[in-house]
């Protein structure tokens, strides 16, 4: 099991990035959440099988078609308290 917090920067708000992340995480059987940040970035907590987490992190460099990702910062994190993957409100 692996848990990481991601901060994705670039053109990632208003381009369906959060919805894309929810779909991508659920299809990989991952737990966690995703939300917009007031600074224009997207933040996600992703937890699950090491290979599936790594695969999602790799996919986050592209995101949905309209996104233009500049950076994906990755930091270790504690796993989420709830199972499943969901979209949270902007913080």
Token pair 């099991």 is found at 1
Please identify which of the residues 35, 36, 37, 62 carries the catalytic annotation.
Answer: 36
36 is catalytic: yes
91 is catalytic: no
SS percent in the chain: helix, strand, coil, step 5: 25, 40, 35
CB atoms within 10 A of CB 10: 18
Please identify which of the residues 5, 11, 18, 68 carries the catalytic annotation.
Answer: 18
Asked whether the CA dihedral 50, 74, 23, 43 is positive or negative, the reply is: positive
- As annotated, the active-site residues are 18, 36
């Amino acid at each position: 099991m692996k848990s990481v917090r991601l901060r994705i920067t670039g053109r990632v708000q208003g381009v369906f990035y959060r919805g894309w992340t929810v779909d991508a995480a659920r299809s990989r059987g991952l737990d966690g959440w995703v939300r917009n940040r007031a600074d224009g970035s997207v933040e996600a907590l992703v937890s699950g099988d090491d290979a599936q987490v790594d695969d999602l992190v790799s996919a986050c460099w592209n995101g949905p078609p309209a996104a233009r990702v500049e950076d994906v910062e990755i930091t270790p994190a504690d796993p989420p308290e709830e199972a499943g993957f969901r979209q949270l409100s902007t913080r």
